[in-house]
Amino acid sequence: MRSNNKTAAVAVMMLALAGGAAVAQPGGGMVADAPVELGAPYQVGGKTYTPADPAYYDEVGYAAPLSEASQGGATANGEAFAPAAIAAAHKTLPLPSYVEVTALDSGRTILARVNDRGPMRTDVLIGLSPGAIEQLGVSPGGPIAVRVRRVNPPEQERAVLRAQGRAAERLETPAPLLKV
């Protein structure tokens, strides 16, 4: 049975690598990188957020697990929420987009796909799926000090994340560079 799952995963990957095509989700629907959406400005708790497409994005702040409320539902760009996927929520970055998230306590860095809006807390920069938190190697409780940098990964890595897999491990950031 396990071999069939691996075969299916390889088949999905091969299709995804063939020209950046959309990938079918396990629960139905498709995951694609187009169209990229910004959306209109919106308000939460009296604060206005204006989605934007910055040429350069590199911020230090806190990450938090995506709330239980978002699990089981649809993301802001219409995809089904997949807890095991390496996914993230951001208040203003385009949907979808890709970011490298570095845990500042360990230097471990992962590639994540931003496909949702949130977290709607002013003290949190980015929300991470359970799969992203696990790959980052941090405990899911409490805020996690992180650096978030928008990147433009190769299509092969994009396809892996669209298929709810994990991109190759990034080099760990040396300790002296983790000082903020």
Confidence tier at 26 by pLDDT (50, 70, 90): low
What is each CA distance from 69 to 72, 89, 116, 120, 159, in whole angstroms?
Answer: 8, 13, 13, 12, 27
Q: pTM of the full predicted structure?
A: 0.80
**Contact status, residue 70 vs residue 153, Cβ threshold 8 Å:** no
Whole-number percent of the chain with pLDDT over 90: 49
Q: Give 106: exposed, middle or buried? Use CB within 10 Å, 0-12, 13-18, 19+.
A: middle
Confidence tier at 17 by pLDDT (50, 70, 90): very low
Confidence tier at 145 by pLDDT (50, 70, 90): very high
Specify the pLDDT at position 81. Answer: 86
Specify the pLDDT at position 176. Answer: 75
CA–CA separation, 88 and 152 (whole Å): 15
CA–CA separation, 165 and 169 (whole Å): 12
68-89 residues labelled b (16+ CB within 10 A) or e (exposed) = eebeeeebbbebebbbebbbbb
Specify the pLDDT at position 78. Answer: 83
| Architecture per CATH, 2-175 | Beta Barrel (2.40)
Summarised one tens digit per residue, pLDDT across range 121-140 is 888 999 999 999 999 999 87
Q: What is the overall mean pLDDT for the chain?
A: 82
Pairing of β 30-31 and β 23-24: antiparallel
Residue 70 has pLDDT above 70, yes or no: no
Q: Strand, helix or coil at 155?
A: helix
Specify the pLDDT at position 21. Answer: 57
**Contact status, residue 112 vs residue 88, Cβ threshold 8 Å:** yes
Q: Which H or E run contains 112?
A: strand 109-116
The number of helices, as runs of H, and strands, as runs of E, in the chain is 3, 10
Give the residue carrying structure tokens 């990450």. Answer: 63
CA–CA separation, 55 and 149 (whole Å): 11
Residue 165 has pLDDT above 50, yes or no: yes
Specify the pLDDT at position 10. Answer: 42
Over residues 27-55, the mean pLDDT reads 84
Residue 117 has pLDDT above 60, yes or no: yes
Q: In terms of pLDDT, which residue wins out, 88 or 32? A: 88
Q: In terms of pLDDT, which residue wins out, 105 or 176? A: 105
**Residue ranges per structural domain of the chain:** 2-175
**Contact status, residue 53 vs residue 45, Cβ threshold 8 Å:** no
Write out the two tokens for 75.
Answer: 């993301």
